[in-house]
Structure 1
Amino acid sequence: MTDVNESRDPELPGRLLTVERDALVPLLRARSEEDFALATAACPGWTVRDVLAHCSAALIRVVEGRFEKGVFSPESNDRDIAERAEWTNARVVDELERGMTEAGPVIAEAGGVLDMIALGEWVHAGDVRDAFGEPGAYAGDGLPHALTLLARVTREKGHLPLHADLDDVDEPLRLGVESGTRTPARFIGDAATLVRLYSGRPLAGAEYELAGAEAGELNIFG
């Protein structure tokens, strides 16, 4: 069973962002202007463009070290999106590409406090692929990095313990913290569904087994 009690890999968030950049940016540049106006099921009220504007703004804040009071709150996110309302879609994608390229070293040096941003960016990329109807929205080449980061984030947040037997990953995954006061929950299913559960995304008829916990307890972004 994969354990993440080893020391933090500071380069992991940056690797995840780089892998996702190389997959997502070409996809975005190939889409029509109309596709950026598609609604996202994962983020009610937000279009694909809104999600991308939020992602690019968050990463540029990391790159530039701008963390004023209330940053990443719903109000702050709405302001970031509004500030980019007059931008072309291409400019939003350019900023996103820059952020995904330059944020990694900054996150690495931050000691772990910004690691979850990289995971959130990867999940949002899945939200965009899901809106486009792309297969494997929450999978792809970044999935192994994302799972490793997810496991460590849940441990550092003191999240409930869970043992995941994944259909498409060779080794089981251990998430959260085993304290002796709660029997670890069990998950059986594919890795993308596990990601959806931990990020509070629609399950879209996914087949899985979860015992010892309610789905809502797993959401680390809620």
Structure 2
Amino acid sequence: MCTTDVRDPDVRDPWLPDRLLRTERDALMPLLRRTPEASFDLRTACPGWTARQVLAHCAAALVRIVEGRLEEGVFLPEANAADVAEREPWPLGRILDELERGFTEAGPVIAETDGTLDAVALGEWVHAGDVREAFGAPGAYGGAGLELALPLLSVTSRRRETPALVGILPGRPEPVSLGNRIAGRPAARFHGEASTLIRIYAGRPLVRTRYALTGATEQELLIYR
């Protein structure tokens, strides 16, 4: 059970990223291991990247955290592209093994930081959704990790200085509070599915979604630019 209340985004649970990563490991790795290798060449929502390349990026980012290789600019687009290029000759199984190691070992390292790496754990979960969507598998931007991703999104949306938003999500007795209050500006309002809310903040395609957003634009809510 998640111990962080999504209504209190000021409180950081340092072990929340670890729980999210391990939950996603247990859900995603069996899917990846049984998926035919040809499917990893399918394109994802990340421009120019296949499922294999997304997973290579995810594995590299997590193992950099595990091994403390976090030099300046490490997660900028150029560095991400270099990590992916380094893994192009690798067998798929080696990439999946590295990814599983990262899911398992990165969380405790993130827990010891000041919270600046929490968004990496959330990004890994979002990328898992990118891969599921490319494969046509259910649960993209949802599934078992959603209850952990939402409170982590609350914290990350404040750190990334997005405007305040109150999310009204089906089946939830309490609204989700995201972002930062701005003097003289009422909180934006969102009505729709939780997975759609994740898509908006992560900048993922909104085709076939249905939602109402007032008081803010989708562009203002992006946490990954």
TM-score of the pair, normalised by structure 2? 0.95
Question: Which residue number corresponds to residue 126 of structure 2?
Answer: 123
Supply the distance in 2 between the matched residues of 1:78 and 1:135 (Cα, whole angstroms).
28
Supply the distance in 2 between the matched residues of 1:201 and 1:167 (Cα, whole angstroms).
20
Supply the distance in 2 between the matched residues of 1:73 and 1:100 (Cα, whole angstroms).
21
Supply the distance in 2 between the matched residues of 1:114 and 1:24 (Cα, whole angstroms).
21
Q: Is the 8 A contact 2:19 2:148 kept in 1?
A: yes
Q: Is the 8 A contact 2:9 2:177 kept in 1?
A: no
Equivalent residue letter for 2:17: P
SS in 2 for 1:43: coil
How far the C-alpha of 1:168 sits from its partner, in A, is 4.0
Q: Is the 8 A contact 1:168 1:190 kept in 2?
A: no
How far the C-alpha of 1:6 sits from its partner, in A, is 4.8
User: Size of the alignment, in residue pairs?
Assistant: 221
Supply the distance in 1 between the matched residues of 2:136 and 2:171 (Cα, whole angstroms).
21
How far the C-alpha of 1:215 sits from its partner, in A, is 1.2
Structure 1 unaligned spans of 5+: none
Q: Does 1:15 align with 2:14?
A: no
How far the C-alpha of 1:181 sits from its partner, in A, is 2.5
Supply the distance in 1 between the matched residues of 2:25 and 2:6 (Cα, whole angstroms).
26
Question: Which residue number corresponds to residue 114 of structure 2?
Answer: 111
SS in 1 for 2:161: coil
Question: Which residue number corresponds to residue 159 of structure 1?
Answer: 162
SS in 2 for 1:220: coil
- Root-mean-square deviation (CA), in Å? 1.3
Q: Is the 8 A contact 2:6 2:154 kept in 1?
A: no
Supply the distance in 2 between the matched residues of 1:183 and 1:109 (Cα, whole angstroms).
35
Match of 2:41 among 29, 37, 41: 37
SS in 1 for 2:191: strand
How far the C-alpha of 1:14 sits from its partner, in A, is 0.3
Q: Does 1:28 align with 2:32?
A: yes
Structure 2 unaligned spans of 5+: none
- Which string of whole-angstrom CA distances, capped at 9 and with x for unpartnered residues, describes residues 25-44 of structure 1? 0000000010111111x101
SS in 2 for 1:67: coil
Structure 1 runs of 4+ aligned residues shifted over 6 Å read none
Of residues 110-119 and 153-162 in structure 1, the stretch that sits farther from structure 2 once superposed is 153-162
Q: Does 1:100 align with 2:103?
A: yes
Q: Does 1:66 align with 2:73?
A: no
Supply the distance in 2 between the matched residues of 1:169 and 1:92 (Cα, whole angstroms).
37
TM-score of the pair, normalised by structure 1? 0.96
